[in-house]
Amino acid sequence: MSAKVVVVGSLNMDLVARAQRLPRAGETLPGDSFFTVPGGKGANQAVAVARLGGSVAMIGNVGDDAYGQQLRQALHVEGVDCGAIETCPGVSSGVALITVDASSQNCIVIIAGGNGLLTPQSVQRFDALLQAAEIIICQLEVPAETVAWTLARGHELGKQVILNPAPATGPLPADWFAHIDYLTPNESEAEALSGVAVTDQDSARRAGERLLQLGAGKVIITLGAQGALLVTAQGHRHFPAPVVQPLDTTAAGDTFIGGFAAGLVRGLEEGEAIAFGQRAAALSVTRAGAQPSIPYLAELAP
C-alpha cells in the first residue's frame, strides 16, 4: 500500500474516568463512569486522516500485551496501513490516564511504554513509506531524536512536513524549525514554544510571527472556541470556529490535524483544508472519547 500521509508517532490505550470535577492533590473523588478506548496522538491523527478521506500509514510501536493487539486492530479496521507498527517484547503498550470533568476539561498522565522505544532506526526501516508519502506528520509523544530524524528526512525528501508540537513544555530545538512546513500548536503550546503568552488573536499572531522568525515554514495556532490562526510570511488569516456544545475535548486537536492533512491530499487549498479540519474537530468535541469521537467524511456537510 502506498499511503499519501504517513504518521510517525504514538499509540496509547486511553483509560478514561469521568467525574464532576478534577481532583486536587491528595484528594479522592467519586467518579461517574470509566471506559478504555484506543488513543495516542499519532494513532488518533492516523484514524482522523483515514476517516476523513486520506490514505494513511502509521509508523510506531506497541507493547507485547493485550492493549497492543487492540491498538493495532483498531487502526486496521479503519483502513490504516499497520505494516510499520512493531511490537516491543517485554514492555507495556503506551497508556494514557485521563480524567474528564463536567465542563469537558481534562487532565492526562501518559506512560510511554513501547512509544519510548521508537528510535530513528525504527523509522528508517520503513523509509520506503516516507518516500512514497505526500505528507509526513509527527508529534512529541515519542523520543525527541526520532522526531528530529523524521522531520529532517521528510524535509530532505521534499515532503510536506507537519509537526504537531504536543505535548510541548518548552522551546523546540533550534535546528528543527527549518524542517517544518506546518507547525500546529494550541495556545499553551504556542506560548511554550515562542515565549509569548497567547490569550487572543493578537497575541497568537505575535507568537506565530516569533515561530516564523525561528524558521518554521507556516504556523497554524488552534485557539479552541476562538478558532484558528494561520500565520505565514505573507501575513495572517483567522478562521472562526464552528459553534458547538462540547462534551469532551479529547482528540479535538488530533482530529483537526488529521482533517487538515486529509484535506490537503484530497486537493483542497490551504484555507479550505484548515476550515475542513475545524469542522471535523468541532464535531468531535460533541462526542466522548478519543478515536470514537473522530467523525467520518460522510458526516461532514460539503
Q: What is the mean pLDDT of residues 165-177?
A: 95
Residue 254 catalytic?
yes
Can you say how many angstroms the Cα of residue 14 is from the centroid of all Cα atoms in its chain? 15
Identify the pLDDT of residue 1: 52
Identify the pLDDT of residue 250: 76
pTM of the model: 0.93
Q: What is the pLDDT of residues 207-222, one digit of tens each?
A: 999 999 999 999 999 9
Are the C-beta atoms of 7 and 58 separated by less than 8 Å?
Answer: yes
| Catalytic-role residue among 14, 65, 81, 254 | 254
Are the C-beta atoms of 102 and 20 separated by less than 8 Å?
Answer: yes
Identify the pLDDT of residue 104: 79
Q: How confident is the model at residue 185 (pLDDT cuts 50, 70, 90)?
A: very high
Identify the pLDDT of residue 302: 63
Q: What is the mean pLDDT of residues 277-284?
A: 96
Q: What is the mean pLDDT of residues 165-192?
A: 96
Q: What is the pLDDT of residues 221-251, one digit of tens each?
A: 999 989 999 999 999 999 999 989 888 777 8
64 three-state secondary structure: coil
5-10+40-91+115-295: CATH number: 3.40.1190.20
Q: How confident is the model at residue 289 (pLDDT cuts 50, 70, 90)?
A: confident
Identify the pLDDT of residue 105: 86
Whole-number Å distance between alpha carbons of 97 and 17: 8
Identify the pLDDT of residue 247: 83
Q: How confident is the model at residue 252 (pLDDT cuts 50, 70, 90)?
A: very high
Higher pLDDT, residue 121 or 167: 121
Give the other-Cβ count within 10 Å of 167's Cβ: 15
Residue 145 has pLDDT above 90, yes or no: yes
Q: What is the pLDDT of residues 51-61, one digit of tens each?
A: 999 999 999 99
β-bridge partners, 114: none
Residue 110 has pLDDT above 90, yes or no: no
Dump the DSSP string for 2-21. Answer: --SEEEE---EEEEEEE-SS
Helix ranges, the chain (H): 41-51, 66-77, 120-124, 127-132, 144-156, 187-194, 201-213, 252-265, 270-284
Strands 81-88 and 56-63: parallel
Are the C-beta atoms of 88 and 61 separated by less than 8 Å?
Answer: yes
Q: What is the pLDDT of residues 260-279, one digit of tens each?
A: 999 999 999 999 999 999 99
Identify the pLDDT of residue 248: 78
Residue 81 has pLDDT above 90, yes or no: yes
